[in-house]
Structure 1
Amino acid sequence: MSTTNQYAIRGGVAGRERLRVLSRTMHPGTTALFERLNIGDGLTCLDVGCGGGDVTLKLARRVAPAGRVVGVDVDETKLDFARREAGEAGLGNVEYRLLDIRTGEAGTDFDVVYARFLLSHLADPARVLGVFHRHLCPGGLVVVEDVDFSGSFTWPELPAFQRYQELYSAVVQKRGGNANLGPQLPILLADAGFEQVGLHVVQPVATEGEAKLLNPLTMENIADAVLQDGLASREELDEVVRQLYDFAANPRTVAGAPRVVQTWGRRAGF
């Protein structure tokens, strides 16, 4: 979630398939995180930068029947997808709002505030964590998952993948973000006033399957930003994407998501 000119990855309809693959790839790690933190029936949750609502629905199922979930994002097209899928799932304890959390209020009584792959795209993650803090009730839980792109790897090494890493980091940095924010999160949470800060690291990688498609899909979805910034030619981008897809199709190679840092903490008063 961000303003359009700040977010490096394509949104709307064009970016939806990548988000679906990302959600399925991250499902085991995020589910284990929610179980570790005992997120369940009766809690009120805020999903910030919810995108197409995949995690929002996961939370809604976990906190049902007594709990509720609010998902907020600045991409109305993604929110339309999310509302449609919530309706198809028959979940009545979830709602979606068009809201930039940096300038708007979603309420101040949430038991859980959650964000995945949001803060690394923002120029002011410390301030946004302060906003999260204000949205929580006393004793409320903040949960953040974000990337450390420097921990990405393939085997064997692939120059096209290294170029993709360079381009991704560059377009995020150009817009004020930090593709390697993940390891800083525990300190940022502590500095924002959270207590009982915890940390866990996951990294979905594979020899075959959807996890390997994240690299070429993401490269395709940052292509507009790369071209806008003059970082590469269309011909180079097409070649990088081709090589990434070929690499993903080879079962004798290893690839997947960047390293993901999971952090959490509580607002005082629990």
Structure 2
Amino acid sequence: MAIGTQDDTEFVHFWNTVLEPKFTKYRHILQGGLSRHSAAVLPKLGIKRGMSVLDVGCGWGDLSLQVAEIVGPEGRVLGIDCVEAFLDPARADAAAQGYSNVEFKRGDAEIALPERAFDYVVARFGTMFFANPVAGLRHMRLALKPGGTMTHIVWRTKADNPAWHGPEEITLRHLPPPGANADTCGPGPFSMSNQTTVGLMMKSAGYEDVSFARVDAKIMVGTTPEECIAYALALGPAGEVFREAGALAEARRPEIEADMRAFFEAQERDEKGIWLGTSSWVITARNPG
């Protein structure tokens, strides 16, 4: 059952039709990389046994299951995501791992969430895509019980994230940037990179005691240079540039791939794959009531 009854927004439709197959194809890269940021802070959060927790933009549910372990059978976890295809694997993993205290539903935090129902709300790399960030953040606050806490993780600036910025710079050497009417996933992964701006958003959404903590982590961006290139041209800033350039991108693919190969071959590498740096903000705040 979906949370909220309104029709999907254009951004939600884009996620379910264009991006979902690409995300699913590269789940092993995405989930492994994103989890390094949440793993760095999860033990430090105030999530305790018996709590009720909402995971917004839960994806394939790995963070939801980690939280379910923390809150124990006395607690409960609800994971929501606007992409239906992510939720069946999440449910399957929960069943396989024996978690009966976690549930997954399709939902859009910008439209509706349960109110005054949770002790803690978490979101890992999802709030940056809100078309109306203050509205989405406010719904997350209203989902909290009075005095409850929200933590969301977002990317810092492109310059702080060579894993995404390096491939984009290479692609833009050969192709024009996406136009104003480009099909996109919303404001984009770096829309909450500015601490001052996001602090104002949080206060506008009604939060108090807003704090920021920085997490730096190298992530695996592909097992081989070939997979790194395919991944970069499918998702993220470079993927958006490539997708929107259409036939021109395909015509210039050999030069783009050659430059990307040189870039990825110069990075740190081990038996698992090729690693590049990323940097995030972990933003925590309280619902005053």
| Structure 1 length-normalised TM | 0.80
Mapping 1:187-226, distance limit 5 Å? 187-205=200-218, 217-221=231-235, 226=241
Mapping 1:89-128, distance limit 5 Å? 89-128=97-136
1:61 is displaced (CA, Å) by: 1.4
Distance 2:18 2:115 in 1: 28
Structure with higher Rg: it is 2
1:267 is displaced (CA, Å) by: 0.4
Q: Deviations over 1:5-38 (max 9, x none)?
A: 26897214x4124343233223343123222222
Q: Deviations over 1:50-103 (max 9, x none)?
A: 111121111111211221110111211111111111111111111011112222
1:265 matched to 2:265: no
- Secondary structure of the corresponding residue to residue 256 of structure 1: strand
- Secondary structure of the corresponding residue to residue 197 of structure 1: strand
Q: Deviations over 1:113-159 (max 9, x none)?
A: 1112222222211111111111100111111111134234559x96x
- Secondary structure of the corresponding residue to residue 182 of structure 1: coil
Q: 2:233 is aligned with what amino acid?
A: M
- Secondary structure of the corresponding residue to residue 188 of structure 1: helix
- Secondary structure of the corresponding residue to residue 59 of structure 2: coil
What residue is the counterpart of 2:86 in the other structure? 78
1:230 matched to 2:245: yes
Moved more, 180-189 or 115-124: 180-189
Structure 1 pair 136–27 and aligned structure 2 pair: CA distance change class (3 A): same
- Secondary structure of the corresponding residue to residue 54 of structure 2: strand
Distance 1:20 1:113 in 2: 25
What residue is the counterpart of 1:68 in the other structure? 76
Structure 1 pair 246–39 and aligned structure 2 pair: CA distance change class (3 A): farther
Distance 2:151 2:266 in 1: 35
Distance 2:121 2:219 in 1: 30
- Secondary structure of the corresponding residue to residue 201 of structure 1: strand
- Give the number of aligned pairs: 265
What residue is the counterpart of 1:48 in the other structure? 56
Say whether the 8 Å CA contact 2:178–2:244 is kept in structure 1.
no
1:195 is displaced (CA, Å) by: 1.3
| Structure 2 length-normalised TM | 0.75
Query: Structure 2 regions of 5+ residues with no counterpart?
Result: 1-8
- Secondary structure of the corresponding residue to residue 264 of structure 2: helix
Q: Deviations over 1:193-232 (max 9, x none)?
A: 211211111222269986x977852432358754653375
Where has structure 1 moved over 6 Å in runs of 4 or more? 6-9, 206-210, 212-215
What residue is the counterpart of 1:36 in the other structure? 44
Q: 1:5 is aligned with what amino acid?
A: F
Distance 1:173 1:143 in 2: 32
Distance 1:54 1:238 in 2: 37
Structure 1 pair 206–25 and aligned structure 2 pair: CA distance change class (3 A): closer
Distance 2:242 2:221 in 1: 30
Distance 2:99 2:180 in 1: 35
Say whether the 8 Å CA contact 1:42–1:68 is kept in structure 2.
yes
Structure 1 pair 214–250 and aligned structure 2 pair: CA distance change class (3 A): same
Distance 1:190 1:40 in 2: 26
1:248 matched to 2:264: yes
What residue is the counterpart of 1:163 in the other structure? 170
What residue is the counterpart of 2:13 in the other structure? 4
What residue is the counterpart of 2:6 in the other structure? none
Structure 1 pair 138–164 and aligned structure 2 pair: CA distance change class (3 A): farther
Say whether the 8 Å CA contact 2:151–2:282 is kept in structure 1.
yes
1:190 is displaced (CA, Å) by: 2.2
Structure 1 pair 147–248 and aligned structure 2 pair: CA distance change class (3 A): same
Say whether the 8 Å CA contact 1:195–1:268 is kept in structure 2.
yes
1:268 is displaced (CA, Å) by: 0.8
Query: Structure 1 regions of 5+ residues with no counterpart?
Result: none
Say whether the 8 Å CA contact 1:172–1:178 is kept in structure 2.
no
Structure 1 pair 208–112 and aligned structure 2 pair: CA distance change class (3 A): closer
